[in-house]
Amino acid sequence: MLKIFHASLYRDRNGYSAQCLEIDVVSQGATKEAALANLKEAVELYFEPPQAHPLPEIYTFEANSSAAINS
**Domain residue ranges in the chain:** 1-48
Percentage of the chain exceeding pLDDT 90: 73
Percentage of the chain exceeding pLDDT 70: 93
Longest Cα–Cα distance in the chain: 58
Q: Residue 46's pLDDT is what?
A: 95
Q: Residue 68's pLDDT is what?
A: 58
9 contact partners, CB below 8 Å, separation of at least 6:
16, 17, 18, 19, 32, 35, 36
Q: Give the pLDDT band of residue 65 (cuts 50, 70, 90).
A: confident
pTM of the model: 0.70
Q: Is the pLDDT of residue 69 over 70?
A: no
